[in-house]
Structure 1
Amino acid sequence: MKKIFFWVLLGIVVLGMILAVIKMFLVYQAKRGEKATALWIAPDTATIPHTPNGVMIRYGRDLIAHTSVYLGPGGKIAAISNGMNCQNCHLQAGTKCWGNNYGGTASMYPKFRERSGMVESIEKRVNDCLIRSLNGNALDSNSRELRAITAYIQWLGKDVPKGYKPPGSGIKEIAYLERRADTTKGKLVYVQKCSKCHGVNGEGKQSAGAIEYEYPPLWGEKAYNTGAGIYRLSRFAGYVKSNMPFGADYSKTQLTDEEAWDVAAFVNSQPRPVKEFPKDWPVASTKPADHPFGPFNDTFSEQQHKYGPFGPILYQRDKRRIK
């Protein structure tokens, strides 16, 4: 009887130990999951080292924040851009959560991009922004400026594991509308919620001295051109949803999803510099549903690819994949 009691007691103790280990494992997994889904936070600029590389990092940050001072029409280094600053689109010098930041850039590049059909470096990506979003020209690959911008972007992502894109980096995606994005409704949103900063005619607002834009132009000759990533409605809509109008962020948005899509449609329907990139998306089947320039490997028009509805386009693609 004593032996039976001993073995029963021992079994209870062992079972308790097993359950304790399982509990510890589940808690560990939960904390690991919480860590994995934590939104990216930029490192404190106070921790930039006081070294030659630190000098480059600080210069790179300044180039992102005040691009026009160095590279704008009256730039003290070169005159190769339209007068906008990189941070007019990459908010807070590329550090704002879901503000088109650089949180996942260093960890994900070099990478293959379907838009170009090749493996791209950070330097190639930076120059793409200069050519498209700033409607300008590329920096020399050996220039101090390009090396400094790259150093800053790499420093921002120094704690992100290679190959991992942390939540909160880049632009937050929002669901496609079931209808076509409405430019008329979008104009009302723009007038009510955007024109105070960006101007009645989308001309933006320059800071004192007219060297930089406090609020960038959204159309017209000083705006981003038709090759910019934000010329795709999904990119624009996701961006403004988390960041606009002034004072909004991902945790306290001010626009509905429909308002974001509609104002994106209105802004991107306005005149702007036209720059063609015929080598973009060399494999037509990889073009995003909202890429507005043909040729396409489907039966939908450029107008539908620009304004939607995008559901039928995606449905047709899914059917083809299943076959």
Structure 2
Amino acid sequence: MQKRKWYGILILIVCSCNPAAKKDYSWQPPDTGQIPATDKGRLIRYGRDLIVNTSSYLGPKGIRAAISNGMNCQNCHLEAGTKPWGNNYSGVFSTYPKYRDRSGSVEDIHRRVNDCIERSLNGQPLDTNSLEMKAITAYVLWLGKDVPKGVKPRAVGIRDLPWLSRAADPEKGRIVYQWFCRRCHGEQGNGLFNADSSGYKYPPLWGEKSYNTGAGLYRLSRLAGYIKDNMPQGYTHENPLLNDEEAWDVAAFISSRPRPEKPFPKDWPDITRKPLDHPFGPYSDSFPARQHKLGPFEPIRHAH
């Protein structure tokens, strides 16, 4: 608790000394054509390739290691981590290392990358000294190289949707899925391989090859916000197809389907810091796990 307090004070000092931190910083991804033809540039390019084609290198038949489920990092971090509101990497360089309530510790980029591999790719962590970790880190840092330290750019990560006044409804979400999602992700949510079957063009949304129960997208608010601004394919924050209720409901349907269960018992060491929609107890309140998973969330918020 003390560590979080002092780290928070440090961040406030950094931001207060940085005029840009007070502005609505709009990020544009750098042009990949400007990556230099040097050893560092080759490392950055390899990192980008790892993000786009993770399965080819690290999937079940990976040419470097077989440590993940066959999904690509790009399946969740859209357009190689550059799409606005598409879970992009624009704020990594400027905000890491940083304190995260989920681990109760200050995390560096290596820890954050391995968190994604273990959770979203349901895999095993990379050695922090491996060429692959160095390449991924180099690419992510290159993407955010122009963002001032301490600044969280606009359209970074996933947007928070307003809470529904009711519980999200998986059965209503099933209808949304049938109309708008199954043509890419399949009737059974098992995704669609690319032409050479080296990885997924459209990832599995549930089942043994999907992300596990420790992934951020297993939380309803994360998945709903991600869906609203990015799905179906081709729709954006500026031009969405689904309304908020449809996004919440289809997220509830997807999260209600079976997937790999992987416990992370050290998560949220301070349970008072758990998000309202974290679907696993213990909780610092008396609301049941089902309500923490599907809502309604406003009564929980008011109780806190």
**1:38, distance to aligned residue in structure 2 (A):** 5.0
In the alignment, the residues of structure 2 paired with residue 183 and residue 204 of structure 1 have an alpha-carbon distance, to the nearest angstrom, of 19
8 Å contact from structure 2 (residues 55, 62) kept in 1: yes
**1:37, distance to aligned residue in structure 2 (A):** 2.6
Structure 1 counterpart of 2:163 = 176
Structure 2 counterpart of 1:234 = 221
8 Å contact from structure 2 (residues 25, 152) kept in 1: no
Residue 103 of structure 1 aligns to which amino acid in structure 2?
S
In the alignment, the residues of structure 2 paired with residue 96 and residue 113 of structure 1 have an alpha-carbon distance, to the nearest angstrom, of 24
CA offsets 1:109-153 (integer angstroms, 9 cap, x no match): 000000000000111000000000000000001000001000000
In the alignment, the residues of structure 1 paired with residue 185 and residue 288 of structure 2 have an alpha-carbon distance, to the nearest angstrom, of 31
- 1:255 aligned to 210, 217, 242, which one? 242
- 2:279 aligned to 273, 292, 309, which one? 292
In the alignment, the residues of structure 2 paired with residue 288 and residue 57 of structure 1 have an alpha-carbon distance, to the nearest angstrom, of 34
Structure 1 counterpart of 2:98 = 111
Residue 189 of structure 1 aligns to which amino acid in structure 2?
V
| Greater fraction of residues in helix | 1
Other structure's SS at 1:81 match: coil
In the alignment, the residues of structure 1 paired with residue 90 and residue 300 of structure 2 have an alpha-carbon distance, to the nearest angstrom, of 31
Aligned runs of 1:1-323 on 2, under 5 Å?
36-37=23-24, 39-317=26-304
**1:175, distance to aligned residue in structure 2 (A):** 0.6
8 Å contact from structure 1 (residues 234, 290) kept in 2: yes
In the alignment, the residues of structure 2 paired with residue 96 and residue 108 of structure 1 have an alpha-carbon distance, to the nearest angstrom, of 18
In the alignment, the residues of structure 2 paired with residue 311 and residue 109 of structure 1 have an alpha-carbon distance, to the nearest angstrom, of 31
Residue 53 of structure 2 aligns to which amino acid in structure 1?
H
8 Å contact from structure 2 (residues 173, 250) kept in 1: yes
Q: TM-score, normalised by structure 1?
A: 0.87
Q: TM-score, normalised by structure 2?
A: 0.92
**1:36, distance to aligned residue in structure 2 (A):** 3.2
8 Å contact from structure 2 (residues 70, 209) kept in 1: yes
8 Å contact from structure 1 (residues 39, 97) kept in 2: no
**1:106, distance to aligned residue in structure 2 (A):** 1.1
Report % sequence identity: 61
In the alignment, the residues of structure 2 paired with residue 73 and residue 300 of structure 1 have an alpha-carbon distance, to the nearest angstrom, of 40
**Bigger RCO of structures 1 and 2 (CA < 8 A, at least 6 apart):** 2
Other structure's SS at 1:119 match: strand
Other structure's SS at 1:92 match: helix
In the alignment, the residues of structure 1 paired with residue 245 and residue 125 of structure 2 have an alpha-carbon distance, to the nearest angstrom, of 36
Task: Please identify runs of 4+ aligned residues in structure 1 that moved more than 6 A.
Answer: none
- Unmatched 5+ residue regions in structure 1? 1-31, 318-323
Structure 2 counterpart of 1:17 = none
**1:314, distance to aligned residue in structure 2 (A):** 0.5
Other structure's SS at 1:37 match: coil
In the alignment, the residues of structure 2 paired with residue 91 and residue 301 of structure 1 have an alpha-carbon distance, to the nearest angstrom, of 34
**1:208, distance to aligned residue in structure 2 (A):** 1.4
8 Å contact from structure 1 (residues 183, 269) kept in 2: yes
